Structure 1
Amino acid sequence: MDTQCPFCSVQCKMRVIEELGADLRSTYTVLPRPNKASEGRLCIKGMNAYQHALTGERILYPLAKKDGQFVRISWEEAYALIGRKFDELRGKYGSDTIGVYGGGSLTNESAYLLGKFARVALKTKYIDYNGRFCMSAAASAGNKTFGIDRGLTNQLADIEQASCIILAGTNIAECQPTLMPYFTRAKEKGAYLIAIDPRDTGTTRAADLHLRVKPGMDAALANGMLKVILEEGLIDESFVRQRTKGFEELRAHLEAQDLGQIAELTGVSAELIRKAALAYGRAATGMVFTARGVEQQTDGYMAVRNFLNLVLLTGKIGKPGCGYGAVTGQGNGQGGREHGQKADQLPGYRLIENPEDRAYVAGVWGIDPAELPGKGVSAYEMMEKVHEQEIRALFVMGSNPIVSNPNANFVEEGLRKLDFLVVADMLMSETARLADLILPVTPYLENEGTLTNLEGRVLLREASRPVSGEAKHDWQILCDIAKLHGKGAYFTYSSAEDIFNELRLASKGGIADYYGITYDRLKKEEGVYWPCPAVEHPGTKRLFEQSFAHADGKAELIAVNNHRPSEQTSNDFPLYLTTGRVLTHYLTGVQTRRSHSLAARDVESFMEIHPKAAKRYRIEDGELVQLESRRGSIYVRSRYSTDIREDTVFVPMHWGDTQCVNKITNQALDPTCRMPGFKVCAVKVSPLRLEYV
């Protein structure tokens, strides 16, 4: 079975070989396949991804909840239930009473169709997806700064040509390990690596300089580096003058900054800030990468804008060995946000409130533009609408919102209020357990489609394994439900390729233009970069070589304030909590926790705490603790580590129920991109010990 890994945004290619033994039991061998992104590498998650796809825990037929228990029903019964419930609720409360909640691991075809399904079949404005929690800060910053958002502005091959690389809030060694050789080769050629992270990680240990910033203070740290670059005359004045705007305002802002105050705010000494700034500013070539550590903040949008200021002031973009990269987390986090499952977007990165964009897409879909709903709200705000019962039915596809949203207790309370919850999934997630109806979908080995990796390269994921049980491809389910609502004429597809060909047309002329990409090209060329406006176009490997995507061709600089996190520590909650990933698990763990090889390496969640902090709170290494915020509490096992700041604890995000870290994270949202502030909240910790009387 030739396919590609379903997990991170590198999208490594692989071959899964199934052999039937004499005892009629199957054994599996996984081999990496040559490809231009991972260069034929696989990590431990990819090597074991087949296990969740073939587990005996797969959901293989529709399940309806009756008297609190799930019972098997037919597809005809499932569809009849959906039709009856949706029609009843729309008749009482209007079309917007139904919400649609998608995921960043869906193929481009399914993500595109989910947006069309919500707006054409259900006529609801309420659609968003879990990629809001992954890429929204970087996407908004890229669009505003450059006029276009693509994960990397250049190809991965440019990394080893960079003389200085800044890795801000990204732990590539654990989250995208197959990319690390790019950075290793860059170091071998003399590159200087700067890592910005409150913790020591595999990535920081590979760096030449580690700036152990206080959680949430990345924007201020960038201000310090910018001030040094300005004072040392390291600005590319010709580039700034010819290709940017807003410099004078930024200059005045930086001149007013005090490096000593920034050092105090960030917890990074002025000496180290200066050292980092000089290394990047003096380098002939350089790249900056950001990820969730910078972006999952209540000022994530502005923090990314400030790192983009660094790129622009030094002119390190649009040429070999230079550029910016937002390290996408989810498998199709890039493509998933380009084609319409985000509240404010239509295919091709068009905007749903732009009359010209509405008219064009409506024309492709064969409807009147007036029939298209307006803009909805972000993913967490949808949960607020659920709580308020403005949304009374929710259709969830490829996501686990009860674990992935901040303030998860609030989210669970809201989902329990729903009149009708439908979950399309391959495994029983924490969200699926609450559903009234579960629809079985196919995993990556069975479901063909395209995905767009972190560098903007569109890849075709083949699928040669027959569909298991009564499962259906997610796009088939959407087409079937559309027919229930009299919209079958708009959903007459017989293959994923049919959908992709319509997506190509819907994206034509948009920012994310896929028109020139075809399945045939993807098979022959191992992927094509967008924008690709014509079949004869080679695809755009490096953006901004001549101009930026704004009408005047210039990038936008902006002054960024030294923002403090919205929630500060106090006597009652004296520690900062930050969250993240571990090597063996992915997102909310629904898939990786079903892989026996992966689950065995990290059976349970944990809290990483510095030994000195642990002693203050009488926490012993390896004991169960209660971690509490203003929103709730969880129970995890402590793990001593000198790799973390004394004022900070770390908990991974891959577990649910009593170990679900998002039960205590902060629901405050970035005012621009509506990203929750996952990475910083105030907590207290106490040992969980039985007392015998």
Structure 2
Amino acid sequence: MTDLLLKYFRTKQQEVQSEKVYDTQCPFCSMQCKMQLIEQSVVSRKTYKTIGKDNPTSQGRLCIKGMNAHQHPFHQDRVLHPLLKVDGEFVRISWEEALQYIKKQVEEIQAVDGHEALSIYGSASITNEEAYILGKFARVGLKTPYIDYNGRLCMSAAATAANQTFGLDRGLTNSLKEIPSTRVIILAGTNIAECQPTIMPYFEKAKENGAYIIAIDPRETPTTQLADLHLKVKPGMDAALANGFLKVIIDENLVDEDFVNERATGFEEVKDYVQSLSLDEISDLTGVPIEQIRTAATKFASEESGMLFTARGVEQQIDGTVAVRNFLNFVIATGKIGKPYSGYGAITGQGNGQGAREHGQKADQLPGYRLIENEEHRAHVAKVWGIDKGELPRKGVSAYEMFQKINDGEITGMFLVCSNPVVSNPNAIFVKEALKKLKFLVAVDLFVSETAKFADLILPASSYLEDEGTMTNVEGRVTLREASRPCPGEAKNDWQIICEIAKVLGKEKYFPYQKAEDIFNELREASRGGIADYYGITYDRIRKEQGILWPCPEVNHQGTERLFEHSFATPNGKAKLIPVSNTSAIPKEKPCSEYPLYLTTGRIMSHYLTGVQTRKSSALAARNFESYLEIHPETAKKYEIDPNSLVAVASKRGKITVRSKISEKIRQDTVFVPFHWAEEQNVNMLVGEDLDPTCKMPGFKVSTVNIRQI
């Protein structure tokens, strides 16, 4: 028997020809979990296995998406060569042909329509280096002000609110390791159990340690199941609910007067307004019972430490900025920030949602979170780039507003990088029609996405396994994604593609990089002294220290784990509070006889964003292969909707067809549809084009619809 076993193991050992291990990071959510992909060549086929790797943020944990992330880079539909549309069909061409085609199109548009007729639509899933170089390419390579990115649809409300209140936006003001020791937690509009599953153990540990957890969400979710108190707020009424919290702590003398007097301005105006309100009015507006409002507010205010977190449920509204600001009013009024185990966190959605907005992809920003309209900021970046500050364009417009300019004929060419706006934007039918009007659209992507189908030229991008660079995760930790696997076919790293386009346009002296680290070292200089100061961070340091929390102004600086311990980043060092009226919280779109139900949207665990990558994973697609409508049993009965039936859902903008999922976990006046699907299941076709006036966030979380069974 022993001889037979030895022979068997020898045979198996011979069958395994080789094994390769690739260190990398998950390409999906903002936890940016470290992992390894193990590739084994067994006889004539390859097998793959993903394992978690220890790190300060997720400590080796992986979720279902991370474990199956490798399935999309190896998918047969991956774009591996430049593709040019000829007579409506994509045909393979060489890189040289592709670059010459771009040169011809760009020069023609600039000659006829001007430099400002070109635009760039970026991504919050690309590296910091690529976000940086994309902003530089827009302003130096193309000389256009028109660059924005899909992160505008994700965290812009929270980012704007934090900048206005604190003077600085880093998603979390504390490191994640403080969460288990806090005494009370508010989770406002965040379903972390499905969106960032590997963050959940921090909150579970806090609960084990006795923390009281409050969840604010119109739906019961895997996250609200963790809560001691669940406030089922009406969609769009978050700002009014925050006023309820403020009223309670003011009426019951629970305001931290010393902290407010020393560290904030504007509280008296907030107090005067809130005292004019009644809890009855607030309860009626929000749908939350007075006793629940009182319990939540008093519990948070009276405990010695507390943390409040917001996400898309609060932010993806046309009053998202002021809604977040009102929650920040509450955090500051209770003195729970800048102290151990106390602070605020905006739970970043996309993988590099934090870093991608810090270094120049946003219409009004330059690297280091500098402002493009600030003369001092312009001068600093222009010097790093080797140009006169007068050559820098002024600010452009937000992501959705670029499509309005396309529709109006002001923008006639677009570079689209790793994004899918015909699925992700509001009023998606309009976006699709606008794209058809472009003279020139080039898409850089892994697949022929729903948007890439409209392109004149598709360039093959690299996946997370092949594209080295830094990412900034949910807690503001700058990490290094190693990527040693060679690009397949003729695919190239995004930064390489931009450099080659710059070269063919005669701008090569501004884009001399040979590797991603070269770009990062320039980014360090460009961010130096800015709000998001990365100067002290290097590739070597990241490798040794497993990531560094910014700001990190010097190479011997340890990074900043807790913000605002002594002062805020405003000119006077104090947080700026403002009153937020209940009337500003009332959505423009209200239920009526024709559209009687609220529609809200969100994520599910097995998919990511518009599903371009996760729907290419057989393991993930099998878990949720179609979209659905979550609806309360009483609502389903009223509208004669049977379980698992096809339902037409219509708004003023369009109509989709999804399958019913009857659940008591949602409010009776609200239905929910996830946003990961396209075409006839694209829920964003139903969402209106109204934008937050400050941050230009669309109102994904509040639309009104009617439903009928098909």
TM-score normalised by length of structure 1: 0.99
The residue aligned with 2:344 is: 324
Structure 1 counterpart of 2:153, from 123, 128, 133 = 133
The residue aligned with 2:206 is: 186
CA displacement at 1:484 relative to structure 2: 1.8
- Give 1:261-272 correspondences, 5 Å limit: 261-272=281-292
Structure 1 counterpart of 2:299, from 273, 276, 279 = 279
The residue aligned with 2:671 is: 649
Q: Structure 2: how far apart are the matches of 1:538 and 1:462? A: 22
- 2:498 paired with 1:446: no
- 2:36 paired with 1:15: yes
- Give 1:167-316 correspondences, 5 Å limit: 167-316=187-336
- Give 1:495-534 correspondences, 5 Å limit: 495-534=515-554
SS of residue in 1 equivalent to 2:623: coil
The residue aligned with 1:576 is: 598
The residue aligned with 2:8 is: none
The residue aligned with 2:450 is: 430
Mind listing any 5+ residue stretches in structure 1 that lack a counterpart?
689-693
Q: Structure 1: how far apart are the matches of 2:81 and 2:409? A: 30
- 2:588 paired with 1:566: yes
CA displacement at 1:389 relative to structure 2: 1.4
CA displacement at 1:620 relative to structure 2: 0.8
Q: Structure 1: how far apart are the matches of 2:226 and 2:261? A: 36
Q: Structure 2: how far apart are the matches of 1:540 and 1:489? A: 35
Q: Structure 1: how far apart are the matches of 2:515 and 2:190? A: 37
CA displacement at 1:618 relative to structure 2: 1.2
Residue deviations 1:62-89 (CA, integer Å, cap 9, x gap):
0011111110000011111111011101
Q: Structure 2: how far apart are the matches of 1:200 and 1:476? A: 45
Residue deviations 1:571-600 (CA, integer Å, cap 9, x gap):
000000000000000000000000000000
Q: Which amino acid aligns with 2:621?
A: A
- 2:603 paired with 1:618: no
SS of residue in 1 equivalent to 2:450: coil
Structure 2 counterpart of 1:96, from 88, 113, 116 = 116
Q: Structure 1: how far apart are the matches of 2:23 and 2:320? A: 38
CA displacement at 1:482 relative to structure 2: 0.7
Structure 2 counterpart of 1:76, from 81, 85, 96 = 96
The residue aligned with 1:6 is: 27
Identity of aligned residues (%): 63
Q: Structure 2: how far apart are the matches of 1:194 and 1:464? A: 43
CA displacement at 1:247 relative to structure 2: 1.1
Q: Structure 2: how far apart are the matches of 1:360 and 1:318? A: 30
CA displacement at 1:278 relative to structure 2: 1.1
Q: Which amino acid aligns with 2:224?
A: T
The residue aligned with 2:166 is: 146
- 2:423 paired with 1:403: yes
The residue aligned with 1:382 is: 402
Segments ≥4 residues shifted beyond 3 Å: none
The residue aligned with 1:631 is: 653
The residue aligned with 1:47 is: 67
CA displacement at 1:129 relative to structure 2: 0.2
CA displacement at 1:194 relative to structure 2: 0.2
Residue deviations 1:12-52 (CA, integer Å, cap 9, x gap):
00010000112x11111111000000111000000000001
Q: Which amino acid aligns with 1:161?
A: S
- 2:141 paired with 1:121: yes
CA displacement at 1:537 relative to structure 2: 0.3
Q: Structure 1: how far apart are the matches of 2:505 and 2:441? A: 18
Q: Which amino acid aligns with 2:464?
A: Y
Which range moved further: 358-367 or 49-58?
A: 49-58
Residue deviations 1:113-148 (CA, integer Å, cap 9, x gap):
000000000001100000001111000000010000
Q: Structure 1: how far apart are the matches of 2:112 and 2:49? A: 54
The residue aligned with 1:34 is: 54
CA displacement at 1:337 relative to structure 2: 0.2
Q: Structure 1: how far apart are the matches of 2:613 and 2:199? A: 22
Q: Which amino acid aligns with 2:178?
A: D
Residue deviations 1:637-679 (CA, integer Å, cap 9, x gap):
1110110001000000100111000011121100111100010
SS of residue in 2 equivalent to 1:114: helix
The residue aligned with 2:383 is: 363
Q: Structure 2: how far apart are the matches of 1:186 and 1:233? A: 27
- 2:703 paired with 1:687: no
Q: Which amino acid aligns with 2:114?
A: G
Residue deviations 1:282-302 (CA, integer Å, cap 9, x gap):
111000000000000010000
Which range moved further: 479-488 or 98-107?
A: 479-488
CA displacement at 1:161 relative to structure 2: 1.3
Structure 2 counterpart of 1:597, from 599, 605, 619 = 619
Q: Which amino acid aligns with 2:26?
A: C
Q: Which amino acid aligns with 1:175?
A: C
Q: Which amino acid aligns with 1:15?
A: Q
SS of residue in 1 equivalent to 2:340: coil
The residue aligned with 1:57 is: 77
Q: Structure 2: how far apart are the matches of 1:667 and 1:620? A: 32
Residue deviations 1:328-382 (CA, integer Å, cap 9, x gap):
0000000000000100000000000001111110000000111111100000000
Q: Which amino acid aligns with 1:632?
A: G
SS of residue in 1 equivalent to 2:393: coil
Q: Structure 2: how far apart are the matches of 1:196 and 1:566? A: 21
SS of residue in 1 equivalent to 2:354: helix
Q: Which amino acid aligns with 1:664?
A: L
Q: Which amino acid aligns with 1:408?
A: A
Q: Structure 1: how far apart are the matches of 2:249 and 2:35? A: 44
The residue aligned with 1:691 is: none
Mind listing any 5+ residue stretches in structure 2 that lack a counterpart?
1-21
Structure 2 counterpart of 1:413, from 406, 426, 433 = 433
Structure 1 counterpart of 2:607, from 577, 582, 585 = 585
Residue deviations 1:146-192 (CA, integer Å, cap 9, x gap):
00000000100110111000000000000001011100110111100
The residue aligned with 1:458 is: 478
Q: Structure 2: how far apart are the matches of 1:617 and 1:276? A: 35
- 2:107 paired with 1:87: yes
SS of residue in 2 equivalent to 1:165: strand
SS of residue in 1 equivalent to 2:543: helix
CA displacement at 1:58 relative to structure 2: 0.8
Residue deviations 1:462-521 (CA, integer Å, cap 9, x gap):
001111000010000101111122111000000000000000000000000000000000
Q: Which amino acid aligns with 1:273?
A: I
SS of residue in 1 equivalent to 2:345: strand
TM-score normalised by length of structure 2: 0.96
Q: Structure 1: how far apart are the matches of 2:354 and 2:305? A: 26
SS of residue in 2 equivalent to 1:343: coil
Q: Which amino acid aligns with 1:177?
A: P
